[in-house]
Structure 1
Amino acid sequence: MKFRNFPMVPRVIYGRGSFEQTSEIIEEKRNKEYPFIFLLDKVFEGKELSKRVPLKGKDKIIYLDTTDEPKTKGIDAIRDSLKDEFGTVSGIIGIGGGSVMDSAKAVALMMTTEGSSAQYQGWDLIKVPGVYHVGIPTISGTGAEVSRTCILTGPERKLGINSDYTPFDQVILDPALVKGVEKNQAFFTGMDCYIHCIESLTGTYLNAFSKSYGEKALELCQKIYVKKPVWDDESDEDLMMASWHGGMSIAYSQVGIAHAVSYGLSYLLGTHHGVGNCIVFDKLEEYYPEGVKEFKYMVEKNQIEIPQGICKGLTDEQFNIMINVSYGMVPLWENALGKDWQKIMTKDKLRALYEEM
């Protein structure tokens, strides 16, 4: 058997206030001729965090509108504008949630790769390292800060650029940055982590490496969302660590049905990743009975409304688009249901599942 030799984030700093060391951390990677580019979630424009970004010389902030998740055409446009203006850059620093993390990874890769990012949606299609890239999460749950993929919506599919060159060169984990995240948003991204864990821990790809990280992430999610009566500073810290461990748990395994199905929702309807996972997972008692039961308890306890009826009134063509996008996620289905997954989750059964949502 040939084992995969997966990369991990080589450098990470953790602690409240660690964001203030950003300038010191990136300075050794600075080429004086070329700037650092900070991709910052647009919600921070004009806010205190934007004023703390350590700009020097020609360094630049690009504000990203995360209303929609990252698209290949948007990544290509940022890459092209940076090449036109600067030639190249010293590095890309992403500050925000999962969409900003994925955008930063994708732009860094495309700075050294020809063509459109849509050409590289898939596994191991990137052949050269990107420019130096740093992830600084301001919300926890997606695991994007540690994963080897960056999820993009392209003209034909929603699929990640999954490669050995995708992981960040440096991650800065500062729990102070996630303070005050809106309740529903925090829940949906936190549930992305929880669902990662359930899918990884019950999958056919499970191994001791994945299990050790997945179990810790699941334990932290249960502590936050099941056992604790109220959210506090410790919850921010715990979810940041759950997100890290949850991302690590799928590095050597995979996610499963909820993610595979939610990609169809996101591609056709623009449903945000965390919300989409919750919409789907809510209907998966047949496949994850214990996880879905606990999930429903967490939804009720935290007084969260899961959107219903989003597929009502869709045409046959639209259902087929979602089914084809979902069916393209072969490793996810294999992890969940084994090599014969198409016999278990037929297209008719998947159509019926979408109709429930």
Structure 2
Amino acid sequence: MSNLETDPAEVVCDGEQPGADGPAPRELLVPRDVPLGGPRAMNVRRTLPQRRRSLIGAWCFLDHYGPQDLTGQAGMNVPRHPHTGLQTVSWLFTGEIEHRDSTGAHAVVRPGELNLMTAGSGISHSEFSTPDTTILHGAQLWVALPEAARGTSPGFEHHRPDPVCGDDWTARVFLGSLLGSTSPVATHSPLLGAEILLDDGASLALELDPGFEHGVLLDSGALRLDGEDVPVDHLAYLAPDSGRITLEGHDGGARLLLIGGEPLGEQIVMWWNFVGRSHEEIVEYRRAWQEEIGAPVGSDPLAAATRVQPPGRHVPHFGPFPPGEPDALPAPALPNARMRPRS
């Protein structure tokens, strides 16, 4: 899914919590509402990135949306748009989304099924909620590719994980390993992604990988994490070496997403739908996209109006795309400040 903000913030992510003592062992990240598009746009709750924390492992972006009644609404209506240097993870709870991309992949995203798109050196795709979808509810996540993999070829993978069940809980592991279940989908850095359903009164103890940092997003219901309430739509951050945790569903149960991964250990620049390593790279990615779709390029307000191709990097190519599709989304104007680390 695209970041449809008309004035996206420039972010440099390094995974470190500001402060001399390093990252806090536990934090509660509060979502912010972001309207995607115009007045009838779909609203999302964004918990990554934000000032308090920009990365959890290589996870760099998390939008949580719905349940939204699409009666009389546009729903998800995202024409062709570009990505670089990342993977998109689509996970639905309700509804269906039609996906097309420039690798030729054409798939329908359904609840309980992973759709993972690797942008790598450059990809473009579109996403539209299907005509028979009346309620849309899910999450869109991005994974930053490490330096060694960010120039990889674009691709698309689909996986329907088998549920792992206990007496009063169910888990679907779509990336990595948990509870004896391992996803066959390969990743470019060690990752974990799982949906967990807890019945009312359920208690599930998990041994976390000590080398991972983790996030627990409460989608719906009531959840206690080690005895502490996690508000709905909030993301609880757990630093590495968190050890054993206990998840408890109460007041009707809970549905949550558990994500994790080894700290990326690299600094990334993220703007609009691009992940790069410098201001100059983002400028070049935007220029390449605008030229490819025949949109005005303009110039970087902070540099001479010349092409700036970062040393050792190729110019991305985002096509081809099937004919007859809606017009592609042009990129927003570049910011009037260099993309630099936040203090």
TM-score normalized by the length of structure 1: 0.27
The structure with the greater share of residues assigned to helix is 1
Question: Which one has more relative contact order, counting CA pairs under 8 Å at least 6 apart?
Answer: 2
TM-score normalized by the length of structure 2: 0.28
